[in-house]
């Protein structure tokens, strides 16, 4: 399966419908901001265990989208039936004017 890249607006709409957001950045990077109610699964600790999503879409993100694209195969394997990548990562999310949690 090919993992799909979606816009921040598409991601927000899916999140509003219950999609699962997974931040693949390291814990220290999250201090600069993250998306509310996401899960943190750093790429350095990635295991082949699927993300629990109860059948909802899984959207992966990093800082700019580069790490998620480079690791698309591994993320595809754990992201459920239709895993997605947030285009531009959290930077794209912020540029789209969407809210983040700081601290």
Whole-angstrom distance between the N-terminal and C-terminal Cα of the chain?
A: 36
Instruction: Name which of 63, 22, 64, 19 is nearest 45 in CA terms.
Output: 22
Residue 17, domain extent: 4-95
Q: Is the pLDDT of residue 34 over 70?
A: yes
Task: Give domain status of residue 45, yes or no.
Answer: yes
Asked if residue 103 belongs to a domain, the reply is no
97: left (phi over 0), alpha (psi -120 to 50) or beta: left
Averaged pLDDT, 16-32: 95
pLDDT in tens, 64-74: 999 999 999 99
| CATH number for position 42 | 3.40.250.10
Quick one: which of 33, 34, 32, 81 has its CA closest to 58?
Answer: 81
Residue 89 belongs to a domain: yes
Tell me if 39 is assigned to some domain.
yes
Q: Count of domains in the chain?
A: 1
DSSP state letters, 18-42: TPEEEE-S-GGGGGG-B-TT-EE--
pLDDT higher than threshold 80 for residue 103 = no
Report yes or no on 102 lying in a domain. no
Give the predicted TM-score (pTM) of the model.
Answer: 0.95
Inside any domain, residue 58: yes
Compute CA distances 70 → 19, 61, 65, 74, 76, whole Å.
22, 12, 9, 9, 11
* For residue 1, pLDDT beyond 70: no
């Amino acid at each position: 399966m090919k993992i799909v890249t979606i816009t921040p607006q598409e991601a927000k709409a899916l999140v509003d419908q219950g999609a699962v957001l997974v931040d693949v950045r390291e814990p220290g990077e999250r201090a600069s901001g993250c998306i509310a109610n996401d899960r943190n699964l750093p790429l350095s600790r990635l295991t082949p265990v699927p993300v629990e999503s109860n059948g909802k879409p899984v959207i992966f993100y990093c800082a700019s989208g580069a790490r998620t694209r480079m690791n698309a195969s591994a993320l595809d394997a754990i992201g459920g039936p239709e895993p997605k990548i947030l285009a531009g990562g959290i930077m794209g999310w912020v540029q789209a004017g969407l809210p983040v949690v700081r601290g």
